[in-house]
Structure 1
Amino acid sequence: MVNMKKGSLHSIIYNNYLGASLIPIFVIELALIILYFSINFFISEKNMETMLNEASQNIKEISTRETTNINNQLREISRSAHFLQNEHQLFFTNPEAFGMPNGKDIEFEFSDNGAYYKKTQVGASLYYGNTVVIGDKEKEKAYRSEAMDTSLKEIVENNPNIVSTYFNSHDVMNRLYPFIENVAYQYGPTIPMEDYNFYYEADAEHNPERDHKWTSAYLDPAGQGWLISCIVPIYNGDFLEGVTGLDVTIDKFVSNILNLKLPWNGSAFLISENGMILAMPEKVEKLFGLKELKEYEYEKAITTTVEKPEDYNILKNKNKNVAKELKNMLDQHISLNEIEIDGKKYLISQETIQETGWKFMMIIEEETLFEPIYHLKDLSDKIGYLAIGLMFVFYITFFVFLLKKSKSLAKRIASPIETLSRVTDSLGRNLDSLNLRDVGILELDKLNKNFNSMGSELETRTKELIDSQIREKMKEKEAEYAYSIGLFESASSYLHNIGNSLAGINGKILNMKKSLSTTSNYPRVFEAIETAHKNSIAGGEDRTLQNISKFKTILIDKLVPKLEENLDDISKAQDQIVLTIKHQQEQFTKSNGDNTKKYIMEFRVDELLRNIIKDFEPSFKKHDIEVIEDISAYLLISNQRHQFAHGIANVVKNAIEAVEMSVNDKNEIRFKAEKIADGVLVSISDNGIGVKSENKGNMFKSGFTTKDNGHGIGLHSFVNFLNANDGRIEFESAGIQQGTTFYITIKNTKAK
């Protein structure tokens, strides 16, 4: 048999027409779109490359310019330092040649800590440590050094970068401008000069050239926070009289020198030759996860050099890759490099400040640099996406047009054959005997399929019918099973309530047994009366009637009423059981009336609670449980009394068992009842074993119990009763050995 490719006339016309008209245009347009986005990507890459080259050149030029500017400002400070060096060395050569700018009435005195200081608040402050014996020579030196104040003051006032100038002598004398009011307290008893970098870095060992030196960032003992100093040695011949210095705070450095308006939102910062960050603005702080050290809370005197922590060494940054890239950049003297910080790329440049050897670093985020190019590329991409959208709309419209044309053409060709197919549908009645062969045309082959599949279709439908009937039977069985489960749950609930009533009866029987246990002593009582009678006759006075009267009081007035009371309580419990069984029987009886209405009655909740407490009195005594009552009077309610009583009794029974399992020294159960809107709120609290947190969600579920011999029926039945009668039950427990409190709400209701 020859294999033929099957298809309808409509599909043949549609596929060929679509293939010849639509597909070539689609392929051409797709190629144009790919070409467009490829060219757009290529142009963007070239623009970014060009922009990077131009930016690199600009960054180098800016770095050089700003480095020159900073270098000039630092040189100005260095020149001022040399000016002071020449003046102070001349002063120590001939101190009498200098005038006294602050006048002659300058007062000095000793502080409580032994330091010698200037009391008159004019010019610069003066401090002498207590490690030096202050004699006439030292006092004269302190007084004569007032001549230094004019130059110290002029330099601070004429250079905005300099915050203070000072002279530190070899014998622990410090003269500093501006004036420090409580200088003796600020410095403490003495200043170990040779321990500070702003002194020892200028001595002969560290500075044999006697030139100016720039310190690293350190904490100022004079109270100005973190700063950098330009220091010069002061010699008298070959003897080092001391060191003169000019201070620039980190805050001043950032605000006056590094507060630059750089292009592309760039930032600049300074580092020392070994990578320690000297000063940085806020942007750089956030970038490296550091906070610039500017101010400091002085709680005590600074007695040694305190430099910046190692965390501020950029070559020891917590980002190992950043530290490695920057170290390589410094070691190889690379002027411009690209680094990655927190997933973002940055351009970073370095330029050496000749005056100090420090590095001026400038950093710019590449995303900011390329933002115009990204914007242009995004705009070009949007134009491309818009073109794709318009093409999609065009092809949908064109496709609909072709579809309509192809359907119209197919209908004109296939209509005669479809008519022939309809005619053959009515031929013959015994269709299962027909064996029609395929002819290669879909409309005619459809007839073969219809007739040949008829038998299998009937068989399939028959099976479906049988399956449907089986499912209906299963649903009926499931309904019967659910009904049985409901009957079981109802019966279990009532049996549980009967159990609670029997528990009360058991308590009364125990009381009766205790009362009757005293009758075992009656023979001895009669024997005592007989003996007393004989003794009375012998003594001449008969007291027999008096003794019989006492026994009568015990027997008739105490024992018999007690037994009658217990029998009356047992009779009430029996009536309650009978009422429960009757209620259960009527619930199973199919009648047109609502049987629940027969059990709605008015009753006092306060009396019901006290009766239940009395029923459980033997159990309370047995387990040494203290009962605390806070029950309001005359709590009248209209509802199903016996169902509510059974539920309360079940809660009390559970409370007794919970207390029995606890480890408390004192056991107690608290009853409280009060009037609420249209109802009564009852709370029963115990200090028993409590409820585990994982069990709280299951407390009211059917079958859930935490007791070895429990059935999980009592609370579940009580919940069902309350839900059906406008009531509610809740509980709270802080956990194991923390006790439990149940809150039961019952309202005036009608049967539902």
Structure 2
Amino acid sequence: MSHFRFLLFYFLICFSLLGCNKSAKNNQENGLENIKSLILKMEKGGENLALQMDSVAHFYANLLTQKDSILKNPKPNPYQYSGAFSTNVPGEDSTLSSIIILNLTPDRQKAELEVTLTNVLDSVFASFIRKNPLAVQIYSNSANQVSRVYPAYDAKNIVDPDIDVTKFNFYYEADLEHNPGKGLVWIPDAYVDPAGKGWILSLLHPVYDGPKLFAVLGVDYTVSDIVENYLNSEEGEFVLVNEKGDIVAGKADAIEALSLPPLKNHVYRETVQSDNFRVSDFNLFNSKSREVRQMAQAFLLQKKERFDFKEEPDLKHAVCGQFASISWFLIQVFPTD
């Protein structure tokens, strides 16, 4: 009888362990399915945006082929200038952009003609913003140091007119050296926006006039909007990181759980001097937790999909999925019960 009870107890333990293992496996699979589904949702949104950006770029390029006829009989220019900046102010006329003709332009007269040639972009930019509520601004920066940004913003009090716009990542990441395919390109790192929008991500598209790069189109999204629209729409704790381990976006609880500093609402109010990337504190490889650093290595370097925590008292495991169109990784962390 005791032997029978022992066998019964043994089989109950085995079935229990099998059930736990099956449950853990299901949890892991469900976590990965959720991650992959969310990545697909974000990539589809990016693809739709890319198609619309491509249309704007083609319109811009076609405009350049007609520049002689357009400038022969130009429409009245709605812009006047005070030094480098157009005099219209934000909210005064919603149909206008902010125009900056930077002091480094090699030919001021040619730059003003460029503004006249490209004024039709204002209506195209306005239409783009209406169709894409997550986009906070769309802009053109030209090789001739002309910047057009829609909607208009307080450029005079934010932008240094002596900068060289071609030295910034939102220009050079789309040039021929960095983008030989001449197509759409994401800036994979979050950076601080010169127009005061805080931490942003940018999608770029070069515009060529024959063999020469004429301008770079860009559209910006704020990190906070990406979190609100995509990550906060799903249950669970998520962080979005690039291939270097920098946090692109994430839920506050997930960032705190990974032993990183709490995110603050960074707003850039100083003179723009150089590229402004997220500080190194917001990097998984610089986490205070040794296990989080190990997790980063497993996901980003070894391309694993699951990591089990053994020492972190508040974390059970994490799963990770990789984007196909950009070097980003989406991580979901699972706190202990």
TM-score range, shorter chain: 0.7 to 0.9
Aligned equivalent of 2:149: 176
The alpha-carbon distance between structure 1 residues 107 and 348, as it changes in their structure 2 partners (threshold 3 A), is same
Return the letter of the residue paired with 1:292: L
Aligned equivalent of 1:125: 98
Deviations 1:469-505 (A, max 9, x none): xxxxxxxxxxxxxxxxxxxxxxxxxxxxxxxxxxxxx
1:290 aligned to 2:300? no
Would the aligned equivalents of 2:287 and 2:293 in 1 still touch at CA under 8 Å? yes
Return the letter of the residue paired with 2:99: L
Identity %: 21
Aligned equivalent of 1:647: none
1:305 CA drift (Å): 0.5
1:45 CA drift (Å): 4.2
Would the aligned equivalents of 2:106 and 2:144 in 1 still touch at CA under 8 Å? no
1:66 aligned to 2:38? yes
The alpha-carbon distance between structure 1 residues 158 and 104, as it changes in their structure 2 partners (threshold 3 A), is same
Between the aligned partners of 1:290 and 1:340, the Cα distance in structure 2 is: 22
Structure 2: which 5+ runs fail to align?
Answer: none
Q: Give the secondary structure class of the aligned counterpart of 1:176.
A: strand
Between the aligned partners of 2:305 and 2:31, the Cα distance in structure 1 is: 10
Q: Give the secondary structure class of the aligned counterpart of 1:131.
A: coil
Between the aligned partners of 2:176 and 2:306, the Cα distance in structure 1 is: 38
Between the aligned partners of 1:96 and 1:259, the Cα distance in structure 2 is: 50
Q: Give the secondary structure class of the aligned counterpart of 2:119.
A: helix
Aligned equivalent of 2:192: 219
Between the aligned partners of 2:77 and 2:215, the Cα distance in structure 1 is: 26
Between the aligned partners of 1:322 and 1:311, the Cα distance in structure 2 is: 14
Would the aligned equivalents of 1:279 and 1:292 in 2 still touch at CA under 8 Å? no
Q: Give the secondary structure class of the aligned counterpart of 2:309.
A: strand
Q: Give the secondary structure class of the aligned counterpart of 1:334.
A: coil
Return the letter of the residue paired with 2:31: I
Aligned equivalent of 2:164: 192
Aligned equivalent of 1:349: 319
Would the aligned equivalents of 2:100 and 2:148 in 1 still touch at CA under 8 Å? yes
The alpha-carbon distance between structure 1 residues 328 and 140, as it changes in their structure 2 partners (threshold 3 A), is same
With the length of structure 1 as denominator, give the TM-score of the two structures: 0.41
1:244 aligned to 2:207? no
* CA RMSD across the alignment: 2.7
Q: Give the secondary structure class of the aligned counterpart of 1:209.
A: coil
1:256 CA drift (Å): 0.9
Would the aligned equivalents of 1:218 and 1:228 in 2 still touch at CA under 8 Å? yes
Deviations 1:108-166 (A, max 9, x none): 122xxx42424374321111112236643222212232111122111111112211100
Between the aligned partners of 2:273 and 2:121, the Cα distance in structure 1 is: 25
Aligned equivalent of 1:143: 116
Would the aligned equivalents of 2:61 and 2:207 in 1 still touch at CA under 8 Å? yes
Aligned equivalent of 1:562: none
Number of residue pairs aligned between Structure 1 and Structure 2 = 325
Q: Give the secondary structure class of the aligned counterpart of 1:217.
A: strand
Q: Give the secondary structure class of the aligned counterpart of 1:222.
A: coil
1:203 aligned to 2:172? no
Q: Highest relative contact order (Cα 8 Å, sep 6+), 1 or 2?
A: 2
Structure with greater helix share of residues: 1
Would the aligned equivalents of 1:234 and 1:243 in 2 still touch at CA under 8 Å? yes
Between the aligned partners of 2:264 and 2:142, the Cα distance in structure 1 is: 28
Would the aligned equivalents of 1:221 and 1:302 in 2 still touch at CA under 8 Å? yes
Return the letter of the residue paired with 1:63: I
Return the letter of the residue paired with 1:241: F
Would the aligned equivalents of 2:291 and 2:312 in 1 still touch at CA under 8 Å? no
1:227 CA drift (Å): 0.3
Aligned equivalent of 1:279: 249
Return the letter of the residue paired with 2:184: H
Return the letter of the residue paired with 1:115: A
1:331 CA drift (Å): 2.1
Between the aligned partners of 1:191 and 1:88, the Cα distance in structure 2 is: 24
The alpha-carbon distance between structure 1 residues 62 and 304, as it changes in their structure 2 partners (threshold 3 A), is same
Between the aligned partners of 1:167 and 1:221, the Cα distance in structure 2 is: 14
Return the letter of the residue paired with 1:330: L
Would the aligned equivalents of 1:75 and 1:355 in 2 still touch at CA under 8 Å? no
Would the aligned equivalents of 2:307 and 2:319 in 1 still touch at CA under 8 Å? yes
1:222 CA drift (Å): 0.9
1:92 CA drift (Å): 2.0
